[in-house]
Amino acid sequence: MVMKTPAARAALPFAVALTAAVTALLAACSAPAADRSPGRRVILFIDQSASIDRDQRRQWQNDANSLVRGVRDGWAVSIFGIHDHTLETAPLFEVDIPVFAPDGTSRTAAARNSAIQTARQSALAAVEKALDTGGAARTDIFSALDRVHPDPHSRPSTIVFFSDMLNSTPELDMERAGSVTLQNIGTLIPALARRHLWRKDLLAGSEVFCVLNSIEIGHAGPPVDRRVQQAFYENLFGALSAKLTRYETSLGGAYASR
């Protein structure tokens, strides 16, 4: 029988713990990437109505570009225009980047980097093209929500609107003063939900960012006060199981750490 010294006995628990830690680390490294991170789905809606001027479009482009440059593998990105045919028009851009399991080979690393860079550059080009297109007579914001479908991979979703958020269609013309008030929000939203057949879980788990029009020099303020607008959209997105995270004139740093 071999006698163990006190130091040797004390080292045993440490060795066991170290072995367990290394085993867990190796298991994490060998696990499929999808098991470690679900990725993210990002949906951008860009206002192409005539009321948005060139300077505003450049500001939105800067914010959209900063977001797109953070795209990684496992992410899906879709870009849609907001105009008078929001519901019917094809997406301006769509990509779903596969997850690359980190097997330590240069081939996999190169394929991953290529897929990410291609997606980023294509999305940047789509943003630029979208913001160079304008002149739509109406702004159909509500039909944008009809373009959102459940993600087959159940990834968390981020929805970003670059718009003044003033819907201007016959169902609700927010360009008309008094069209939305704190008193009528409770009746407007259920009516919209019935008309569009929105499910209560349509945007379940989604975060929504609204980046507003900040260029109003020489113009009257919005026909619907922005505090009322924000209350309206907080209630609308909340009714569809989403959270309105930001309602400001810039994206700011709100998305940088995500």
Do β-strands 243-248 and 207-211 pair in parallel, antiparallel, or remain unpaired? Answer: parallel
In a domain, 31, yes or no: no
pLDDT tens string, the chain, 258 residues long: the values are 444 444 444 444 434 343 343 333 233 333 343 345 569 999 999 999 888 888 999 999 999 999 999 999 999 999 999 999 999 999 999 999 999 888 778 888 899 999 999 999 999 999 999 999 878 888 999 999 999 999 999 999 999 999 999 999 999 999 999 999 999 999 999 999 999 999 999 999 899 999 998 855 445 567 888 999 999 999 999 999 999 999 999 987 655 444
In a domain, 254, yes or no: no
In a domain, 257, yes or no: no
Overall pTM > 0.85: no
pLDDT score recorded for residue 148 = 96
pLDDT score recorded for residue 37 = 59
Query: Could you give the CA distance from residue 42 to residue 76 in angstroms, rounded to a whole number?
Result: 6
Question: What residue numbers bound the domain in which 218 lies?
Answer: 40-248
CATH number of the domain where residue 125 is located: 3.40.50.410
pLDDT score recorded for residue 52 = 85
In a domain, 237, yes or no: yes
pLDDT score recorded for residue 215 = 59
Number of domains in the chain: 1
Please give the structure tokens belonging to residue 258: 């995500």
Query: Could you give the CA distance from residue 48 to residue 50 in angstroms, rounded to a whole number?
Result: 7
Cα dist from 143 to 79, 140, 147, 171, 209, whole Å: 14, 6, 7, 11, 17
pLDDT score recorded for residue 137 = 84
Burial status of residue 201 (CB atoms within 10 A of its CB: 0-12, 13-18, 19 or more): exposed
In a domain, 14, yes or no: no
In a domain, 32, yes or no: no
pLDDT score recorded for residue 178 = 92
Nearest C-alpha neighbor of 43 from the set 100, 86, 101 = 86
In a domain, 209, yes or no: yes
pLDDT score recorded for residue 237 = 98
pLDDT score recorded for residue 254 = 54
In a domain, 16, yes or no: no
